[in-house]
Amino acid sequence: MVGSPFDGLPVEIKVQVMENLDAKSLLRCASVSWSMYLTFRSSSVLQYLVKLALYGMEDTGSSVPHPNISPLLDDHRRAWELLNWKRTTTIEVAPHCQAYELVADVFASSDGSKLCIVGLPSSTSDGYTMTRTPDVSFRDFAIDPTQDIVAFLEVSIQSAQRIHVRNISTNAPLIILGFSIPPNNNFKNPVLQFGHDLLGLYYTSRILIWNWRQGSLIFDSSLEKLSHHIDDFVFLSRDALLVTSTALHLYVFNPPSSVTLVATLHLPVTPHHRLGAQIKVHSGPLHARPPPGALFTPSSSERIQVLSVGYGLNLKYTMYVHTRTLLHYVEHYRNGEALPELVVPWDLWGTHGTRFMKRDAQRVWLRYAHGQRVIQQRDTASGTEIDVIDFNYIPSSSSSSSSSSSSPSGSISDLPLNPLHGDSFRRTTVTRSQPTVLAPSTSGGLGSFSGARHDSPFVTEISTSLPYHVSSVSLPLALYACMIDDERVIGVQMDQADIKLVVYSL
């Protein structure tokens, strides 16, 4: 069989060409011919690119040679799999925490008058602290250390409101963004978030989004004729957002100042229209650049979205879905493969694309999700047990080959234990062949649905099968809350107004 002209090129040229392919295309090329396979196997660069995609990571463009980075990437993955941290540091932070953030290796907290910033220690560095005192009192703030920016929502009892955007390092003002609260509008629990050059504000069923660099308001939900109410929102990318109501609504930005509803993804059917879900959403931050010094970083399109789903007062669930699953509908619209306002029933997207579970752990602080990992905690008689749930688990040669079945209730805490290192760790892998199954309602009819904690809000049995892996560790200390980023588990201890961070650096 005569090889292709490409096979006759020098290996160096073939590698340069193949470097422009995505991981899936690279693997396809490697399976085309023996020559292409040998080219792939001979290149540490090509193998590193595939490994990055496999782990849901991106290269940061450092000057470190790829053969040196690849083992570090493997070590990073293994450390998370075993929860094998190299260093533990306790840090006292400012008391009276009114608001806080964890973004790009930085923890920041405020009491409404000053901002205390902690550059978190890693396994190789000690970190730093600084304090910023703006000349305004503020209700909330958002930071993106990769852009050296902070936004303060000023305290005001007037209808006119202001957001001050400043440099973190110098406190120098960059721009002031203004907006108005309509008469009789309930301005409760405002939350700011950055997404690249976007700054979003959510409060009481209203979303405002600015391009903070240009100072332009590009979306105000109160001026749009939306077909649904708003429970929450999150940036999926710099040009797409997820808005939640009783369903998931995917929007894209159309410059300069409008949005298009791309798709509405419905949740499982409930026995009564008044039993619609209330959905809050949380994920890792969407910052503009990698943290300084990072060799690789989680891909923004691979982030896990954690949806807290409530039906009435008693029925609480957590649903997990990859950002890429949601962006799939955005890409189809952008490529002209789908019309806007697509309506997607649960059965067409939720069964294999999500994991829907009964909520079995109370999360008192945010920043419990980062990349494709989620952390949760449970109090024990001797301290705290921590679960790190990885929704991109890839077994390594050091992994246990056994896997366990999920419980009928779909509760992570009900999964069988597989001890490792004594009884401190457990490791459990759930695959697509082991779905979480939620039973339908046991009530006799629509009018008799009880909404009790033991009942179910669903008309039919719900089965979901997004794979995940759980690594757990028992800690001999009580923690008020837990947070996570790409390099650390961060425990929060509170004693009245005093706050300590216990930083476990991997």
- Whether residue 75 lies inside any domain: the answer is yes
Name the least confident of 94-108, 427-441, 487-501: 427-441
Dihedral angle at the C-alpha atoms of 477, 483, 488, 490, nearest 10 degrees? -30
Q: How confident is the model at residue 423, as a pLDDT?
A: 40
Instruction: Say how far apart CA 502 and CA 499 lie, in whole Å.
Output: 10
Tell me the backbone φ, ψ of residue 328, rounded to 5 degrees: -55, -40
Where is average pLDDT lowest: 30-44, 119-133, 328-342, 384-398?
384-398
pLDDT at 232: 96
Q: How far apart are CA 356 and CA 277, in angstroms?
A: 13
| Residue 33 belongs to a domain | yes
The whole-chain average pLDDT of the chain stands at 87
Residue 68 has phi, psi (to 5 degrees) of -85, -30
* Mean pLDDT across 333-361: 91
Q: Which residues contact 168 (CB under 8 A, 6 or more apart)?
A: 117, 132, 143, 145, 148, 149, 150
**Structure tokens that stand for 264 in this block:** 């509405």
In total, how many domains does the chain have? 1
What's the pLDDT at 449? 52
Which helix (H) or strand (E) covers residue 334, if one does? helix 323-334
As a whole number of Å, the end-to-end CA separation of the chain is 51
Label residue 1 by pLDDT band (50, 70, 90).
very low
Percent with pLDDT over 70 in the chain = 88
For residue 61, name the pLDDT band (cuts at 50, 70, 90). Answer: very high
- Which one has a higher pLDDT value, 150 or 407? 150
DSSP structure string for 402-456: ---PPPTT--GGGSPP-EETTTTEEEEEE-TTS-EEEPPP-SSSGGG----TTS-
Q: In this structure, is residue 171 part of a structural domain?
A: no
Residues 485/506, Cβ–Cβ less than 8 Å: no
283 and 234 Cβ atoms separated by less than 8 Å: yes
Q: In the block, which residue shows the tokens 């805490």? A: 413
Residue with tokens 């449970």: 378
Cβ contacts of 454-458, under 8 Å, gap ≥ 24: 455/315, 456/315, 457/270, 457/271, 457/275, 457/277, 457/311, 457/312, 457/315, 458/268, 458/269, 458/270, 458/271
Q: Does residue 46 sit within a domain? A: yes
pLDDT band at 444 (very low <50, low <70, confident <90, very high): low
Q: What is the DSSP letter of 3?
A: P
The Cα–Cα gap between 358 and 319 comes to 9
| pLDDT digit string, tens, across residues 24-48 | 888 888 888 888 888 888 888 898 9
Closest CA to 505 of 491, 479, 487: 487
Please state, in angstroms and rounded to a whole number, the distance separating the CA atoms of residues 53 and 69: 14
User: Does the residue 436 lie in any domain?
Assistant: no
Give the structural domain span for 38.
Answer: 5-81
Residue 9: Cβ-neighbour burial (10 angstroms; 0-12, 13-18, 19+): middle
Phi-psi category of 289—alpha, beta or left, where left has phi over 0 and alpha has psi -120 to 50? beta
What DSSP assignment string belongs to 167-189?
A: ETTT--EEEEEEEEPPTT----S
pLDDT of residue 395: 61
| Residue 24, domain member (yes or no) | yes
The DSSP letter of residue 47 is H
Contact by Cβ (8 Å): 164, 176: yes
Cα 140 to Cα 268: distance, rounded to the nearest angstrom: 35
Q: Above 70 in pLDDT, residue 396?
A: no
CB 91 within 8 A of CB 500: yes
CA distance 235 to 427: 32
What pLDDT, on the 0 to 100 scale, is given for residue 414? 39
Tell me, yes or no, whether 447 lies in a domain: no
Q: Report yes or no: 460 and 440 within 8 Å, Cβ to Cβ.
A: yes
Q: Express as a percent the part of the chain with pLDDT over 90.
A: 64
In a domain, 140, yes or no: no
pLDDT tens digits for 456-481? 889 999 999 998 989 999 999 999 99
